[in-house]
Amino acid sequence: MSNPGNLKYTASHEWVKTEADGTLTVGITDHAQELLGDMVFVEAPTAGRKLKAKEECAVVESVKAAADVYAPVSGTVTAANSELDGTPEAINSDPYGAWIFKMKPDNAADVAALLDATAYQAVVDSEAH
């Protein structure tokens, strides 16, 4: 699966979609879910939580391992995806549709500093060697 060009990415394998209202939707990339395997549990941050960029804010657990999810930028959590409580495997079947949380960034310009699809693919490729 290729990395959608309309998203931004982090080197720690989160994807970020900027919504029309300026909020950010955050999930883990296809590469991350492939490495982890079948998801069994997702712990998302609660609405209202203040996050700092690169702060651990969520946990995804698979049959193989647990992994932290990091805030892509500083801001405030506005929603958690409660659908993942009952169907964490949605991340495996649709990693770019199954978001983990939404947030309002403190500074919208911070999003521009995240990786584009090409730069993120370079990170993935460098890890493969």
Which pLDDT band holds residue 54 (cuts at 50, 70, 90)? very high
Is 23:8 a contact under the CB 8 Å cutoff? no
- Asked whether residue 67 carries a pLDDT value surpassing 90, the answer given is yes
Q: What is the pLDDT of residues 88-97, one digit of tens each?
A: 999 999 999 9
Task: Sheet containing 56-62: give its strands across.
Answer: 39-43, 56-62, 66-70
Which pLDDT band holds residue 2 (cuts at 50, 70, 90)? confident
Burial 65-104 (b: 16+ CB within 10 A, else e): eebebbbbbbbbbbebbeebeeebbbbbeebbebbbbbbe
Instruction: Write out the two tokens for 102.
Output: 């939404």
Full-model pTM: 0.96
**Which domains are assigned to the chain?**
8-108 (2.40.50.100)
CA dihedral 9, 97, 76, 18 (to 10 degrees): 60
